[in-house]
Structure 1
Amino acid sequence: MHREIRNHNSGNAQVVIQAGETHGPLTINLHAPDRNAPVERLARAVAAQWSAEAKVRGLFGPAPMAITWQTADRRPWLTGGDAAAFADRFLDLPAPRRLVLLGEPGCGKTSAAVLLVHELLNRRRPGQAVPVLLSLGSWDPETEHLSQWLARRLAEEYPVLGRRALQQAGKLLDANLVLPVLDGLDEIPAGRRTQALAKLNQALADQDPIVLTCRKQEYKKLSTEALGRATVIEALPLNRESVRSYLLAPATPERTARWQPVLNHLMVKPGGPLASTLTDPLMLGLTRTVYAAEHGRNPAELVTDKRLRTQPAIEQHLLDAVVPTAFPTGPSDRNAAHWRRRRWREARAKRHLAFLAQHLGRLQSQELAWWRLELDGRRAENSQALMAVVLPLVVTASVLSTLVSGHNLRIGTLLNIVGFPVVITAFALWKGGGQRRRAVSAPARVIEPLIGVPLGAVLAAVTTGLGDHTGLLQPRVLRMVLTVAMVLPPAVLTVLWDGRQIGPEAATPAGLLARQRRPPLVLALLVATVLIPGSLLLDRLLGPPYSWLPHHRYPTGNFTQLLVGSVCWALASSRWGAYQVTRLRLACTGCLPFRLMRFLDDAHHRGVLRQEGSTYQFRHARLRERLAEKES
């Protein structure tokens, strides 16, 4: 009599060996990995995102920069290796594989992190941890635990995690299926960096891997804290041979002839301002981009121009040339990509980018998010802009009606027509903007519309009563009070839905905006669906003089006012609606273009901006600072 033995193995392994005697048939069942598992969907989404972004940033060029890395005690770590060699060194690190990348601004820390993520994903096997690159600047260590922040950012950036993305992200983190690659510890405000590093150490378990990037001087100022059990490496300036190889790749006689004056100057003055500037990977990359043959600039001007005699002057010259190079004048090729056929004049592009740079400076943020545009300014700015547009239009319409038709259309009558929609829209913009400027709990988000909608109805009653001098006790006001019960449920739903709008919806700025257009439009349709049969029911139950529907003895516009005003509430109280009002306000003043998302997408493809999930960032902080400084 033999005993059947069953072994169950779970986990990740390339080879499983079992020693022992076997009698009879041996059956092995291999289960293919589930491609629809959340971790596999996340891996595909991250791979697609950073592969595309690396192409836009030019990281897959013919001759990538040969950056040399050394450890904190000045021992060589990697000399001029490519992404594969960098990934090899990372995988050879002792457990728990923690790496800190340091360097001066523009030395290539973020590019190295992007290439590391791309290479690790190429080598990843099903079921293994997924490296995810996230910008650390949005983390507030005082108010949010690192694990909560990671889960929230994963849910925001990767909709493939499903409808319960936040819970799914938490499960992946708990199962150690996410390798955090955190970019920019220096982007956290200076007063919180020490606390952030301490909280980061507290949040990491004994065997949790992590990759962190930071500017060299900012990290060394954190003398009381350091990332525990981490290997710290620093990027060294490029040497002359690396600069030469990068400028001449791909090597051709014509290219060598164009760059020969610069190369000769570097040989004669190896310690001069130009040589010092080009040892910075950011400036070297800008030099190659600005003086590409197709842009018509001659790199010899770096040697012959007398204004470029100091390193700051050369750096400012290269930074100032980014926008003119990215947005050239002249016709575009008929076969050019669609984003290159969009014509943005250099002056306008520079003005718009400068405003966005100053906008980020006022918000003290690195991330350019469309839903934060309304936060730059006073809470009531959108409401005031709406009133400033409507009131002159009302006066103009009254004057034109008198001049053209000879009939005196009173201003009060016009206010009676547009009063309720305008007041309720302005109130929604003011209230919604205030909620988004502070953290509001879920119960408070429900209570506030319960108070705000009746208050808005009273204000609208006062406004709509100006036309025929009716008071607050007139039938129309009673009709409005009765209908508040119909407006409240959609209003509460609007606020609650808006609280979830910045969530697991899309991984691109345009995709997120498209997704966020649906809730307010659906709610507007819901409002109309509720009000029309509700008004019919009230009319049948109450009848004149308390009817909502038009009656020959009473004003005929009440029902239309309520319907339009309620729809305006549903739209204006959402982030999408507030963004549209803010965008139009800023476009009318010339600060931003009317097609803002197309402009941002264009700037991204042209290398001025980079995309970080559902937000944009400037290609480098020094470029953002230069644009803001020059235009201010």
Structure 2
Amino acid sequence: MNVVVQAINADAGTFGDWVGWANVWSLPVGATALAVVAWEKATRRAELATVDLEQAERELAAVMLAQSQVARARLLGTDQPEDTYANVKFIRGTGRFREVGGADVGDMASVLEYYRTLTPGRLVILGEPGAGKTVLALQLLIRLLEERETSGQPGPVPLLLSAASWPADHPLEQWLAQQIAQRFALSEQAAVGLIQKRRILPIIDGLDEMGVAGMSRRADSAVAALNGYMRARERAAVVVTCRNTEYAQLTTRLDRATHVEIRPLDGRKSASYLSQQLRDESDLNRWAPVLAELDAYPAGVLAAELATPWRLTLATAIYRADGDPSELLPEKDVGQTGREKYAERVNSLLLSRYVSALVRVSDDDRYSAENVERWLGKIAVHLDWRARHGLSGTDIVLSEWWRISGSIKATLAHFTLASLPALLALLPALSGEQEFFVVAAVLLLLASGAIRHPSPHHLTFRLGTSHAFRRFKSGFFSGIMTTFLGMIVAGFIGSFLPSSVQSSAMVFIFVLVTGLAGGFVGDQVGGVGAGVLLGLTAGIFGIFSFGVATQIVGELQPDSITTLVVMLAGGSVVGNVIGLVVMLNDSSPQPVGPYGVIRADGLHGLAIGLVTWLLFNLFGITLGLNAEFSSGIRVGLISGFVVSWVLVISFGSHTWCRYHLARVLAAQQRRSPMRLGGFLEWASQAGLLRISGISYQFRHSQLQHWLARGAAAEEDVRRQA
């Protein structure tokens, strides 16, 4: 306050000197005040999330229902979405310990009614590979959400989760909250609140996929965690799917749960399902021998090979456009040895032709069957590698896919890209301009953020909503008050310091270093990138606003009103920037697809880059007003571009940059196509992959393992050649 009083009472020349003091010290105080505001906002978010929990739950249920209906239609169809399903039956297992009810028999059509008889709603769905466990779980999920929507009863929101994505070192509730936050762009506080209040019904799909064959330790740990998942004094509701054999190998069973097993389809049911898939008389004529065999021998060898929905899907896909389904017929009087050879022949026939069949009927001619099979094989091999290293062996998560090109290569390429401005800054430093060593060191320190492996950022642009306006208003007034108070206190501190710190070069370096320090403090409340941005915002806009004040007051007789107006003007600029950034980070539930995670991270970096570039250009204008205008503009443009480059690549869009670098490296190694995201989306539309939250998965694990074996064998031949 002393500096402000002195400035008000000083003449025009002396006023500029006092402004210089505050000019420098507005940064640390402003950054500190912003950190305090950010901390206060972070501690209040839990309360705000609790207040909005009911709304978040409703929005989450609506998003989940829409996503699940699409996922089920794609799973039921082959080359296009389908709504006809094989009405598989399931039977309740006997001899299980501490079961909780349920009829002896149920089916897919009545799965909701069956589930409603269970207390406390804990169900284990078992079955052979391809039996329809995931589709049955999806059917239950959709029926629960539809009931919730029509009845208005606020039951828990069912959420389908891939068991393979559960890290071994993550507690259950932490993993559930992370999945909700990532998949639906929901605030972590709201996600935690939904979990803590048991407003989410976890449906854990594929317990058998939590490790490579024979490694059930992760699955055992998962079941133990689910047994400790409580709601008040009883076990909380949960649904789990698993293969029969793998579940039998576990040392732990899901407690207080009803276990049901999906039964194979007999020949007549398979024939009925196939008949519903036929589209014209030509299809009926081609399939007639197969339908007759299934009807005549409902327990025969052909019926055994087509006894699951997955096998029926394979068969219909392969012969959808052409071909002779009679290839599936067995020879007469097949003995035991003949049955085994026949099973191998049918398995090879179905799996080896599946990819080429779907490529052939696809409307998109960008991909050849040969390339599709090779790329999918490489992806399957990488998934096997992930499974052996304790990671998900089924989920293709684009934000983690950089490892396919080699972890060290991708990280080194990322750091090199972020370090380019630092390397360029060394050129004038080596020529004798030693101050550039400081600039290079600061840029290199910032670039080291590229070595990290952080979670993706999320940024949305729902600017027209009342919720977004409230967030903007909060950020706007926080910015005004922070800058206003920061400048007053900074002026007081600056009155005790020597004038040598007021040079433009020292101010600029001081802004960078203190902004970086503020970033590490900000890591505790909103991430390093957010902290750096807050530090730079406070410091540079403090310089800008007081620099303008120098020009204005140099020609006017200073008074308290002028000083107050200038301070509020600077604060309003900061408030607009902070308010915009806060508003862009909307936390309401929204559907996020696999590539949506990458896109959102890119938008986040773009916003940070534009704001940083704007700040440094305003700094350049300030320098230009106090010195040569063209020089100031050049400084603003160059420094803005350099710092924006480093911040965006290292912090703001870390995931986006790492993904795109890795896909280029992987394409050069012929491990994936150059446009990986577009290829995976096409493959999911074609029926080769499926979407599970923010990840892609192979349509079925049998297809994944078949392609992995083929790709591995091809690689062995290439190495030996």
Q: TM-score, normalised by structure 2?
A: 0.62
SS of residue matched to 2:217? helix
Structure 1 residues 548 and 88: alpha-carbon distance in aligned structure 2, compared to 1, 3 A threshold = same
Structure 1 residue 517, shift from structure 2 partner: 1.4
Moved more, 265-274 or 527-536: 265-274
* Paired amino acid for 1:572: I
Partner of 2:20: none
Partner Cα distance (2:157, 2:445) in 1: 45
Partner of 1:73: 94
Partner Cα distance (1:625, 1:525) in 2: 45
Structure 1 residue 550, shift from structure 2 partner: 9.3
Partner of 2:596: 511
Deviations 1:553-581 (A, max 9, x none): xxx9x987654443332232211121122
Structure 1 residue 584, shift from structure 2 partner: 2.4
Structure 1 residue 363, shift from structure 2 partner: 2.1
Structure 1 residue 495, shift from structure 2 partner: 5.6
Partner of 1:96: 120
Count, aligned residues: 511
Structure 1 residues 182 and 421: alpha-carbon distance in aligned structure 2, compared to 1, 3 A threshold = farther
* Paired amino acid for 2:130: G
SS of residue matched to 1:176? coil
Moved more, 246-255 or 498-507: 498-507
Partner of 2:162: 135
Moved more, 232-241 or 342-351: 342-351
**Identity within the alignment, %:** 26
Query: Could you tell me which of 641, 644, 666 is aligned with 1:586?
Result: 666
Query: Could you tell me which of 314, 317, 325 is aligned with 1:286?
Result: 314
Partner Cα distance (1:241, 1:229) in 2: 36
Matched, 1:313 2:345: yes
Structure 1 residue 486, shift from structure 2 partner: 7.6
Structure 1 residue 535, shift from structure 2 partner: 5.0
Matched, 1:39 2:57: yes
Deviations 1:379-429 (A, max 9, x none): 441365579999xxxxxxxxxxxxxxxxxxxxx99xxxxx99999999978
Q: Does the 8 Å contact 2:414/2:451 carry over to 1?
A: no
Partner of 2:227: 201
Matched, 1:114 2:138: yes
Matched, 1:569 2:649: no
Structure 1 residue 96, shift from structure 2 partner: 0.8
Structure 1 residues 389 and 521: alpha-carbon distance in aligned structure 2, compared to 1, 3 A threshold = closer
Query: Could you tell me which of 324, 349, 352 is aligned with 2:372?
Result: 349
Partner of 2:147: 123
SS of residue matched to 1:37? helix
Structure 1 residues 240 and 209: alpha-carbon distance in aligned structure 2, compared to 1, 3 A threshold = same
Deviations 1:596-622 (A, max 9, x none): 222222111111111111211111111
Partner Cα distance (1:598, 1:120) in 2: 33
Structure 1 residues 347 and 580: alpha-carbon distance in aligned structure 2, compared to 1, 3 A threshold = same
Query: Could you tell me which of 153, 172, 197 is aligned with 1:175?
Result: 197
Partner of 2:218: 192
Partner Cα distance (1:203, 1:300) in 2: 51
Partner of 2:427: none
Partner of 1:154: 180
Structure 1 residue 539, shift from structure 2 partner: 7.9
Partner of 1:522: 607
> What are the ranges of 5 or more consecutive residues in structure 2 without an aligned counterpart?
1-51, 97-101, 332-337, 419-429, 432-436, 456-504, 532-581, 713-721
Partner Cα distance (2:53, 2:173) in 1: 26
Matched, 1:611 2:634: no
Partner of 1:496: 528
Q: Does the 8 Å contact 2:227/2:235 carry over to 1?
A: no
* Paired amino acid for 2:312: L
SS of residue matched to 1:66? coil
SS of residue matched to 1:310? helix
Partner of 1:296: 322
> Which residues of 2 match residues 353-372 of structure 1 at below 5 A?
353-364=376-387, 365=392, 366-372=394-400
* Paired amino acid for 1:509: P
Partner Cα distance (1:498, 1:325) in 2: 49
Structure 1 residue 44, shift from structure 2 partner: 0.8
Structure 1 residues 77 and 626: alpha-carbon distance in aligned structure 2, compared to 1, 3 A threshold = farther
Partner Cα distance (2:666, 2:438) in 1: 25
Structure 1 residue 296, shift from structure 2 partner: 1.5
Partner of 2:284: 256
Moved more, 203-212 or 308-317: 308-317
> What are the ranges of 5 or more consecutive residues in structure 1 without an aligned counterpart?
1-33, 333-339, 391-411, 414-418, 438-476
Partner Cα distance (2:693, 2:685) in 1: 15
Partner Cα distance (1:241, 1:107) in 2: 16
Structure 1 residue 511, shift from structure 2 partner: 2.7
SS of residue matched to 1:325? helix
Q: Does the 8 Å contact 2:106/2:114 carry over to 1?
A: no
Structure 1 residues 115 and 259: alpha-carbon distance in aligned structure 2, compared to 1, 3 A threshold = same
Partner Cα distance (1:375, 1:420) in 2: 34
Q: Does the 8 Å contact 1:374/1:433 carry over to 2?
A: no
Partner Cα distance (2:446, 2:406) in 1: 15
Partner of 2:617: 532
Q: Does the 8 Å contact 1:326/1:607 carry over to 2?
A: yes
Structure 1 residues 307 and 208: alpha-carbon distance in aligned structure 2, compared to 1, 3 A threshold = closer
Partner of 1:326: 358
Structure 1 residue 371, shift from structure 2 partner: 0.7
Moved more, 244-253 or 187-196: 244-253
Partner Cα distance (1:168, 1:41) in 2: 12
Structure 1 residue 268, shift from structure 2 partner: 7.3
Q: Does the 8 Å contact 1:354/1:628 carry over to 2?
A: yes
* Paired amino acid for 1:170: V
Partner of 2:560: none
Q: Does the 8 Å contact 1:308/1:314 carry over to 2?
A: no
Structure 1 residues 151 and 384: alpha-carbon distance in aligned structure 2, compared to 1, 3 A threshold = closer
Deviations 1:19-67 (A, max 9, x none): xxxxxxxxxxxxxxx9972221121111111011112222785652132
Partner Cα distance (1:199, 1:509) in 2: 27
Matched, 1:64 2:89: no
Partner of 1:235: 262
Partner of 1:244: 271
Structure 1 residues 598 and 378: alpha-carbon distance in aligned structure 2, compared to 1, 3 A threshold = closer
Structure 1 residues 342 and 149: alpha-carbon distance in aligned structure 2, compared to 1, 3 A threshold = same
Q: Does the 8 Å contact 1:274/1:314 carry over to 2?
A: no
Deviations 1:196-217 (A, max 9, x none): 2112111223052221111111
Q: Does the 8 Å contact 1:156/1:506 carry over to 2?
A: no
Deviations 1:363-385 (A, max 9, x none): 22221111101234544413655
Partner Cα distance (2:409, 2:508) in 1: 28
Partner Cα distance (1:531, 1:486) in 2: 15
Partner Cα distance (2:398, 2:518) in 1: 25
Structure 1 residue 100, shift from structure 2 partner: 0.6
Q: Does the 8 Å contact 2:594/2:694 carry over to 1?
A: yes
Structure 1 residues 309 and 129: alpha-carbon distance in aligned structure 2, compared to 1, 3 A threshold = same
Partner Cα distance (1:55, 1:319) in 2: 22
Q: Does the 8 Å contact 2:145/2:158 carry over to 1?
A: yes
